[in-house]
Amino acid sequence: MSKVLVIGAGGVGSVAVHKMAMNPGIFSDIHLASRTRSKCDAIAESVRQRTGVAVATYAIDAEDVPALTALIRQIGPKLVVNLALPYQDLTIMDACLAAGVDYMDTANYEPKDVARFEYRWQWEYQDRFREAGLMALLGSGFDPGVTSVFAMWLKKHKLKTIRTLDILDCNGGDHGQAFATNFNPEINIREVTAPARHWLNGAWVETPAMTIRENFDFEGVGPKNMYLMYHEELESLARFIPEMERARFWMTFGDAYINHLTVLQNVGMTRIDPVIYNGQEIIPLQFLKAVLPEPASLGPTTHGKTNIGDIATGEALDGSGEKTFYVYNICDHEDAFHETGNQAVSYTTGVPAMIGAAMMLTGAWRGEGVFNMEQFDPDPFMAMLNAQGLPWQVKELAGPLEF
């Protein structure tokens, strides 16, 4: 029985709060704060109608550390779950330290003025959290999040060592829009337009964004083009699975998405440096976000499935030589919408956020300091995925990916 404060009332926050309300034995008292209180109220109303559970709401600027610290002290939660944007990670960690409360998020900190995806800034909080006897859990979404838990589950149950790891993220959903992103457009486009990087023999190999493409036949979706990208869990996986020779991350994009993105890039609309417009400074990518559909609005029209998983090759635990396993989840956009009013990209992030919070609140995952998902026993998390709407499957493949 625990009190939790969720910060951020977007698609991911909405799913997480709905799923917390569906698990009242763990989340007995739910509070939701975000920049725009009306969005918190809309989520609270949906939760009340679907579950009968009351959620308290607040307006807060999570970059204002004194105000946030005061709000945390006033509410007195056992855990703060940060589902706002990566820009707010450090200020929310600061407020948690000041108020003496545990912290969790789903995406690593990014400075606003440069698209750099690194755990360094948050890992630097290690001593402060440990000395305060507090726990911070980083990256408890799907990717990062479940993808790291999948790798650790394979390492616990199937493979003694992981030699190569490929994370495959496929969104086979169709929202009927010419161009839209499935989560925060600014964060999504920053990620997609950043150079690709993969881990090879102890070093990062950088290639230009969206230049390495392969085709893969995804169960439940069909064949899709996927592109090599950098994704933040590669950094923590390389750290916690040190024997890994190669780790790569792939994400599918349709031709229409790529064409739109190419044009937007060519005309400068994805720039994150300020430009003067009508005597005022604007960031082109933030302006673009304002004219694109809100990801949360895509729910009612999106159909199709997502399929996200890990393919790992290494020495089998049972001594039978080198083996390859594929562990993955398939999630249906319409089912996700029916359950929480949000499409599957928010669902596949919000459910693991709720599970990560449950791991911390129940004490299944416990420690003092700053932790990544790879550092805990994957079994209780994997069990909750099955029970909470993201069932996974594992199968043995004939061999590693041929590319």
Q: What residue ranges bind ligand NDP (CB under 6 A)?
A: 7-13, 34-36, 39, 60-63, 83-86, 88, 106-107, 141-145, 183-184, 187, 295-296, 346, 349
Rounded CA separation 289/298 (Å): 14
| CA 394 centroid distance within chain | 21
How close are the terminal C-alpha atoms of the chain, in Å? 48
Which of 12, 167 has the CB closer to ligand NDP? Answer: 12
Burial of 257 (0-12, 13-18, 19+ CB in 10 A): middle
Residues with Cβ < 8 Å from 210, sequence gap 6 or more?
192, 193, 196, 227, 229, 253, 258, 261
Give the strand pairing for 27-34 and 369-372. Answer: unpaired
Report the nearest approach of ligand NDP to the CB of residue 198 (Å). Answer: 19
Report the nearest approach of ligand NDP to the CB of residue 185 (Å). Answer: 8
Report the nearest approach of ligand NDP to the CB of residue 398 (Å). Answer: 29
Which of 11, 173 has the CB closer to ligand NDP? Answer: 11
Write the secondary structure of the chain as one string of H (helix), E (strand) and C (coil): CEEEEEECCCHHHHHHHHHHHCCCCCEEEEEEEECCHHHHHHHHHHHHHHHCCCEEEEECCCCCHHHHHHHHHHHCCCEEEECCCHHHHHHHHHHHHHHCCEEEECCCCCCCCCCCCCCHHHHCCHHHHHHCCCEEEECCECCCEHHHHHHHHHHHHCECCCCEEEEEEEECCECCCCCCCCCCHHHHHHHHHCCEEEEECCEEEEECCCCCEEEEEECCCEEEEEEEECCCHHHHHHHHCCCCCEEEEEEECCHHHHHHHHHHHHCCCCCCCCEEECCEEECHHHHHHHHCCCHHHHHHHCECEEEEEEEEEEEECCCCCEEEEEEEEEEEHHHHHHHHCCCHHHHHHHHHHHHHHHHHHHCCCCCCEEEEHHHCCHHHHHHHHHHCCCCEEEEEECCCCCC
Report the nearest approach of ligand NDP to the CB of residue 320 (Å). Answer: 33
Rounded CA separation 344/349 (Å): 8
Report the nearest approach of ligand NDP to the CB of residue 362 (Å). Answer: 21
Report the nearest approach of ligand NDP to the CB of residue 286 (Å). Answer: 11
Report the nearest approach of ligand NDP to the CB of residue 50 (Å). Answer: 18
Q: What is the number of the residue whose Cβ is closest to ligand NDP? A: 10
Report the nearest approach of ligand NDP to the CB of residue 38 (Å). Answer: 9
Which of 10, 314 has the CB closer to ligand NDP? Answer: 10
Which of 53, 345 has the CB closer to ligand NDP? Answer: 345
Report the nearest approach of ligand NDP to the CB of residue 151 (Å). Answer: 15
Report the nearest approach of ligand NDP to the CB of residue 14 (Å). Answer: 7
Report the nearest approach of ligand NDP to the CB of residue 220 (Å). Answer: 18
Which of 323, 333 has the CB closer to ligand NDP? Answer: 333
